[in-house]
Structure 1
Amino acid sequence: MPKVLISDKMDPQAAQIFRDRGVEVDEITGLKPEELIKIIGDYDGLAIRSSTTVTKEILDAATNLKVIGRAGIGVDNVDIPYASSRGVVVMNTPFGNSITTAEHAIALMFAVARQLPEADASTQAGKWEKNRFMGVELTGKTLGLIGAGNIGSIVASRALGLKMKVVAFDPFLTPERAIEMGVEKVDLDTLLARADFITLHTPLTDQTRNILSRENLAKTKKGVRIVNCARGGLIDEAALKEGLESGHIAGAALDVFAVEPAKENALFGTPNLVCTPHLGASTKEAQVNVALQVAEQLSDYLMTGGVTNALNMPSLSAEEAPKLKPYMALAEKLGSLVGQLAQDDLDNIAVEVEGAAAELNIKPITGAVLAGFMRRYSDTVNMVNAPYLAKERGLDVREVRHAQEGAYQTLVRITVNTSEGTRSVAGTLFGNANPRLVEIFGISLEAELEGDMLYIVNEDAPGFIGRVGTTLGEAGLNIGTFHLGRRSAGGEAILLLTIDSAIPQPVLDTISKLPGVKRAKALKF
């Protein structure tokens, strides 16, 4: 009988679900890391919330652990790469608290609009400062959504019900999806200039970190009010404090902070600031929902091998897994390549399989492509929920099978339409196991997609490769592998290099200015 440890406080119905499904369960909460290390080796599954941090040391001690289930969205407290290397599946419950978080954002919007916390404190202190608290109405105001995914779309729906106008900035929001939501799609600068209220609903990634930077906060309308129930680190907290003190920002409400638990923060005590201790998911309904979901998901995996909402494994049956695993690795890398190179807001993507790949279940392959393609924009996307998220954003996904073999015994091709025309990348498996890129944008080029890479589009000319190598060498960067392809002699060429370490931006800028370079971009796999 599989055995699961619930190490964080959860609704008691979760433990009962495990028992009903034939899984032995222990509920031991409040464990210190050293205490968890001593006992984790006895368990096949671990159910957590945010209190337990699953580190490399804990995973090393978890000799029997097969699956970790996080009751909630964020998995910052799990070392996912190391868990993957140990063969441990990591699951979350990405949609269990969406409504709760959206409602909290709306509540904070009301609170900051009407100065409710300050008015409450003043009144209960025996004062009657009716003229001090002059609020604003939400009706007729413009709400700017930064992030229009699952939670953002719920906030938009509620705001429209309050007769607000809604504009949204989201790289994946298509015009069709915007119309369906009843919002206007805009760029970030337009949103900052027009919004009376701004709410954030995006994960914390390299692209979104400090998205409300000092520079962007300065672009906002005077008197703007800002609400963040998403992730700490999306707002420059020092710049926000200055904006509140100067009066440029009329109010702000934060449920999340750059450092949590936020027992000390320079923002505390700033006028017109409302703070809550990461309560976005803190309702009875949400706590029950995520607890039940994580118990069901772990039970399914341990008893039947079913995989749902896994962050490091696709949804597939035990029979399909051995055959599909290398194809999904290839598909995810190709999707990631397209996602990193795409310069447009894409509204369609085609996944084509040829030869041996056409005989397999294409859904996990497509899920892997979408997971790779969208990962740069979302820290909760996985091979299970990627198709759902793509549909939610209006991304048209096509699957095409070609039973006949082409130049390769098996092939996966990803095609997208861009402002520059149709673009595709293709890959195959060497030895039926090793993913390999074989074509990029119509140019034959064989490469492994691994680690830190440098992608260059250039004019084919003598001496170019030497200049690139010299530039990297002078910067102390070592080339691991070198791959080159061209359309014709003297025509457009592509250079793909594996670098032993990440490429600093100044070095990338220098390479971009080399004679003949059309585009240079750092890639990460």
Structure 2
Amino acid sequence: MAPKVLVSDKLSETAVQIFRDRGVEVDYLPDLGKDKDKFLEVIGQYDGLAIRSATKVSDKVLAAATNLKVIGRAGIGVDNVDIPAASKRGVIVMNTPFGNSVTTAEHAIAMMFAVARQLPEASASTHEGKWEKNRFMGVELFNKTLGVIGAGNIGSIVCDRALGLHMKVAAYDPFLSDERAKQMGVAKVELDELLARADFITLHVPLTDKTRNILSREAIAKTKKGVRIINCARGGLVDEAALAEALQSGQVAGAAFDVFEVEPATASPLFHLPNVVVTPHLGASTTEAQENVALQVAEQMSDYLLTGAVQNALNMPSVTAEEAAVMGPWLKLADHLGAFAGQMTDEPIKAINVLYDGTVAAMNLQALNCAAIAGIMKAQNPDVNLVSAPVIARERGIQISTTRQEKSGVFDGYIKLTVVTDKRDRSIAGTVFSDGKPRFIQIKGINIDAEIGAHMLYTTNDDVPGIIGTLGQTMGEAGVNIANFTLGRSGVGKDAIALLYLDEEPAPAVIKALESTGKFTQVRPLNFNVA
């Protein structure tokens, strides 16, 4: 019996035809996603669901989708899909992470031109028959410095286009290596230097806790007077109220925004200000991009439903069904090791080395590598998945090496992950016990046995008395319960570490309280996806 797919949002007719040509039965009902009751009523009939952003796939929908095997999102954002719920129900969630890259990069360049030459205002004035030639004095892009915040997939395309315009390009990206910057032909700088040097600033980073308001009031104050700011990435990266004030004071000469903190944006501090260009989140809105992502998602879903091949999955690796049964806990361990290293690393990564020992060395190491790399990358970019992570690592010039070895210790198998930067090598190892639960067994050469929880706290200190008491008392006073407490040291009086498994995430005030004691060389809260 042929698999059956529902297309519940507007998708290219060509994409719908791909399903039919591949032998997949398809119902094209582009408005059904907006009718929640009808959608719930029929979703149980389908093996696959192809969507854009209008259809909301909640846990309630997934509970009704008793036959659903795969959800395909034509585009990158999956905010409208409950991925943890899908994972629990065995539903694969796919997206098309690179289909919109060129289009979004071109929109940023177009917005830069528009704000440099005040094109929208000049066009509106001319339409009114005013012919105000002397009013609209623009600036050239030639020989100006473009500051690019985020030099990943889209940001690197913007850099390339800007260099073609004979602009000077300075890029800030925690994952940008010296080698990759040289290859791209850009100057790698810290954020403060970029702010001071740039005539134009464009943002190309995801919205995370680290990047929210990356252009804050304080950051905007550090910019070169007369800078122009372009944001075609995510709303919330720029403090819109602070930017509005800077535009009015003349610190910032212009801004071009395609995204806003609240969308749909019916009001913003930026609206109605002179030399501010605004568009309604059009970054991916070209005929080519919409066609590309639609065709890609149709091919990916057809491949999975007909052959079992998995591409661009957000919640599973590219492994066979037989491998998945054995590798599941090890894939989770690889992700946890990567998440630890990623959250602990603030400087550009030059290399990632993965050692597989014993039984795990005979498994599908490509999938395990993908899980480890994705764990690292997700600390900076939550949109990264098991498929896109190695691509992003290669784009950033990160060298990946893998070593297999026969059983060499007390464990039947273990994975050791080492992240190399200009400043240090950071290593962490883990294994899977007979209960199927991953454990951390070594951090920077210090042996431990740590259960992994959603919220953890990692500290380093000299091996002196009073550390356990300080940690326990501080957590107790803050009302944070410690589920598990692991200690390790390199030797008497030498380096020591503690890893606390907590029932909840510690507030910033708790971290500051521990740091203020002067007893710790490092205090770092960590989060892990243990679902």
**Mapping for residues 70-109 of structure 1, pairs under 5 Å:** 70-109=73-112
1:16 Cα offset (Å): 1.0
- State the match for 2:512 in structure 1: 509
- State the match for 1:122 in structure 2: 125
Letter in 2 for 1:410: G
Give me the identity figure in percent: 60
| CA distances 1:58-88 after superposition (whole Å, capped 9, x unpaired) | 2222222221111111112222222222222
How far apart are the structure 1 equivalents of 2:303 and 2:504? 40
Give the conservation status (yes or no) of the 8 Å contact 1:359–1:403. no
SS of residue in 1 equivalent to 2:349: coil
- State the match for 2:247 in structure 1: 244
How far apart are the structure 2 equivalents of 1:59 and 1:218? 47
- State the match for 2:262 in structure 1: 259
Give the conservation status (yes or no) of the 8 Å contact 1:350–1:399. yes
SS of residue in 1 equivalent to 2:379: helix
CA RMSD of aligned residues (A): 1.3
Please, what TM-score do these two structures have when normalized by structure 2?
Answer: 0.97
1:366 Cα offset (Å): 0.5
Please, what TM-score do these two structures have when normalized by structure 1?
Answer: 0.98
- State the match for 2:64 in structure 1: 61
SS of residue in 2 equivalent to 1:270: coil
Q: Does 1:218 align with 2:221?
A: yes
1:498 Cα offset (Å): 1.1
SS of residue in 2 equivalent to 1:358: helix
| CA distances 1:462-507 after superposition (whole Å, capped 9, x unpaired) | 3321221111111111111111111123322111111111111011
Letter in 2 for 1:519: Q
Residues 1:200 and 1:375: Cα distance change in structure 2 (over 3 Å)? same
How far apart are the structure 2 equivalents of 1:399 and 1:340? 21
1:418 Cα offset (Å): 4.2
How far apart are the structure 2 equivalents of 1:491 and 1:516? 14
SS of residue in 2 equivalent to 1:261: coil
1:235 Cα offset (Å): 0.7
1:264 Cα offset (Å): 2.5
Q: Does 1:410 align with 2:413?
A: yes
Residues 1:422 and 1:377: Cα distance change in structure 2 (over 3 Å)? closer
5+ long unaligned stretches in structure 2: none
How far apart are the structure 2 equivalents of 1:306 and 1:22? 16
Give the conservation status (yes or no) of the 8 Å contact 2:175–2:347. no
Residues 1:420 and 1:273: Cα distance change in structure 2 (over 3 Å)? closer
1:407 Cα offset (Å): 2.2
SS of residue in 1 equivalent to 2:243: helix
Give the conservation status (yes or no) of the 8 Å contact 1:227–1:252. yes
- State the match for 2:165 in structure 1: 162
Between the two proteins, the alignment pairs up a number of residues equal to 525
How far apart are the structure 1 equivalents of 2:435 and 2:420? 30
User: Which residue of the other structure, out of 173, 187, 190, is the alignment partner of 2:176?
Assistant: 173
| CA distances 1:71-129 after superposition (whole Å, capped 9, x unpaired) | 11111222222222222211110111111111111111100000000000000101010
1:14 Cα offset (Å): 1.1
Give the conservation status (yes or no) of the 8 Å contact 1:326–1:432. no
SS of residue in 2 equivalent to 1:347: strand
1:56 Cα offset (Å): 2.1
How far apart are the structure 2 equivalents of 1:515 and 1:159? 47
Q: Does 1:316 align with 2:319?
A: yes
1:421 Cα offset (Å): 4.0
1:416 Cα offset (Å): 2.4
Residues 1:225 and 1:515: Cα distance change in structure 2 (over 3 Å)? closer
User: Which residue of the other structure, out of 218, 232, 235, is the alignment partner of 1:232?
Assistant: 235
Give the conservation status (yes or no) of the 8 Å contact 2:11–2:30. no
How far apart are the structure 2 equivalents of 1:202 and 1:51? 24
- The answer to which of 16-25 and 178-187 deviates more is 16-25
Q: Which runs of 4+ in 1 moved over 6 A?
A: none
How far apart are the structure 1 equivalents of 2:11 and 2:186? 37
Letter in 2 for 1:26: D
- State the match for 1:8 in structure 2: 9
| CA distances 1:155-196 after superposition (whole Å, capped 9, x unpaired) | 111111101000000011111111111100000000000000
How far apart are the structure 1 equivalents of 2:185 and 2:295? 33
- State the match for 1:152 in structure 2: 155
- State the match for 2:432 in structure 1: 429
1:420 Cα offset (Å): 5.5
5+ long unaligned stretches in structure 1: none
